[in-house]
Amino acid sequence: MPLPETGQPAPDFTLPDAEGTPVTLSDLRGTWVVLYFYPKASTPGCTTQACSVRDHRADYESRGARVLGVSPDPVKKVASFVEKQALDFTLLADEDHEVCDLYGTWVEKSMYGKTYWGASRSTVIVDPEGVVAEVFPKVKPAEHDAKVLAALDALQGAATA
């Protein structure tokens, strides 16, 4: 399944957070949601990206955006990642990669001549009505926040114009 397209309703889902509490996307209507998919907790790129989101929390909050990180890790591994990096935003465990499949981020990858399946580093901005407002395929961890925050500014400016 490909990444969702702008203008489409964001596929709804429910996943457990680091404490095992279910989080449902449609329950967040009325709020901008930054839904970012990352391959694996506690790996270098994913740690860089998560810590950057943590460090930009005030920037997301000032734009009224809630950040949800999704990886195909079990709850226990997500919880360990949250604790170890003092992450103060919501990470979700998609252990069966159902939501990654739903959003087109479960892809075949290749490293050192071996192919395997995993989550691609992609981000989807969902507007307060639950519609896909922007899609970022193949995000680079160091550029993620600047691109997403700029997009939120542009989208919110367009929404108020």
* Residue 130 neighbours by CB distance under 10 Å: 17
Domain tally, the chain: 1
pLDDT for 137-148, tens place per residue? 988 888 999 999
Distances 136 to 22, 47, 71, 114, 125 between C-alpha atoms, Å: 25, 19, 16, 26, 9
Place of tokens 């994913």: 46
Under DSSP, is residue 61 helix (H, G, I), strand (E, B) or coil? helix
46 neighbors 138 (Cβ within 8 angstroms)? no
pLDDT on residue 159: 63
Domain range enclosing 148: 14-160
Distances 78 to 7, 85, 90, 95, 127 between C-alpha atoms, Å: 31, 11, 10, 10, 26
Any domain includes 8: no
Catalytic residue positions, numbered: 46
Q: Is the pLDDT of residue 161 over 60?
A: no
Any domain includes 42: yes
pLDDT for 43-99, tens place per residue? 877 888 998 999 999 999 999 999 999 999 999 999 999 999 999 999 999 999 999
pLDDT for 39-54, tens place per residue? 888 787 788 899 899 9
Any domain includes 9: no
Q: Output the domain CATH number for residue 26.
A: 3.40.30.10
Any domain includes 7: no
Any domain includes 2: no
pTM of the entire predicted model: 0.91
Per the structure block, which two tokens stand in for 105?
């981020």
What stretches of 102-151 adopt beta strand conformation (E)? 106-111, 114-119, 122-126, 132-136
Q: What angle do CA 82, 31, 56 make, to 5 degrees?
A: 45
Any domain includes 5: no
